[in-house]
Amino acid sequence: MYSRRFQYVRAQSLGDACDMLRRHGDGAKVIAGGQSLLPMVNVGLVTPEVVVDISRVPEARGLARDDGFVVIGALNTHRELMTSELLQADQPLIPAAASHIGNDRVRNRGTLGGSLAHSDPAGELPLVMTAISAMYEVTDGSSTREVKAEEFATSFLTTQLEPDEVVVAARVPVLGPGWGWSFCEMSRRKGDFAVVAAAALVRSAGGALVEARLALGGVADHPVRLGAVEAALAGATYDEIGPRVGAIEGIRPLSDTNASGEYRRHLSRVLAVRALEEAYRRSEEVE
């Protein structure tokens, strides 16, 4: 199935793109790699009148360190995230998550900004950004604001982006000394969206867990940060991780053709414990 015809325009800058979005209103959609938008267009879920291409805009590219952060341009592809030596050194959770996205075609064409703006609750990058407390830079062409990753998604495929705003970059904290990390997901086939995914960061010292960060994807209409579990893990030894995680509270997974809500709840705990234990082991290796 293919959509009705639409007008295609190429933006020369982010300001140009935002002006086009304002001019065309609800009938306009942004495209970069097209790996989120075009499948929705092809099945008729989205019927744009105008598609604004930002793929050649120069100011939303690149990766660079900036005072304890790595700034990642929105137009960096999943492949670039997966293979970046800078990210592998400073925030390896991102390359690990990017390696799970789709297939080679999707990773070569899909972009960070597209994934964040699309905001699929089972998407790998929105989940990781929530776990690491990233900040997103968004612009309407005349001013730029920052939004916390944890607050960016408001519902299923819905974000805080205004109709005339686009994602410019993500600011991710550099993984400091003593931190271990892990990304785990279960999908029906390799490259499918996750049934459930877990992203964890752990800092240990003296044989005990000092600090943990844990987020789950695929269990709600947006990625979920599990603050209660993080707090319960303070001071835990490796063997105490499972008992302290306990039953995952505060999530109400839905049933669909991939899995029942009950199975997702069970899988949430399994993957949470697995990710935390792996992150703990990595933390002890770098301690």
Supply the CATH number for residue 224's domain. 3.30.390.50
Please state, for a pLDDT cut of 70, what percent of the chain lies above it: 98
- In this structure, how many other beta carbons lie within 10 angstroms of the beta carbon of residue 253? 23
The C-alpha atoms of residue 193 and residue 7 are separated, in whole angstroms, by: 30
Please say if the pLDDT value at position 234 is more than 90. Answer: yes
CATH code for position 98:
3.30.465.10
CATH code (residue 11): 3.30.43.10
pLDDT digits (tens, 9 = 90+) for 46-72: 899 999 999 999 999 999 999 999 999
Residues 25 and 73 in one domain: no
pLDDT digits (tens, 9 = 90+) for 66-117: 999 999 999 999 999 999 999 999 999 999 999 999 999 999 999 999 999 9
Q: What is the mean pLDDT of residues 245-260?
A: 89
Burial of 8 (0-12, 13-18, 19+ CB in 10 A): exposed
Give the end of a domain, one of 151, 173, 195: 173
Tell me what the mean pLDDT of segment 8-20 comes to. 96
**For 146-162, what is each residue's pLDDT tens digit?**
999 999 999 999 999 99
Q: What is the pLDDT of residue 10?
A: 96
What CA–CA distance (Å, rounded) separates 165 from 162?
A: 5
The reply to whether 1 falls in a domain is no
Residues contacting 16, CB < 8 A, separation 6+: 141
The pLDDT mean for the chain works out to 94
Number of structural domains the chain divides into:
3
Rounded to whole angstroms, the Cα distance separating 88 from 96 reads: 9
Tokens of 285: 């290796």
Could you tell me the residue range of the domain that residue 273 belongs to? 179-286
Beta pairing class for 208-217 and 196-205:
antiparallel
pLDDT exceeds cutoff 90 at 5: no
Q: What is the pLDDT of residue 3?
A: 65
Q: Cβ(198)–Cβ(274) under 8 Å?
A: yes
For tokens 């390359």, the residue is 95
What pLDDT, on the 0 to 100 scale, is given for residue 191?
80
Q: Is the dihedral angle over the CA atoms 89, 91, 95, 96 positive or is it negative?
A: positive
What would the pLDDT profile of 29-52 be if each residue is shown by its tens digit?
A: 999 999 999 888 888 888 999 999
- Domain end residue (candidates: 153, 173, 193): 173
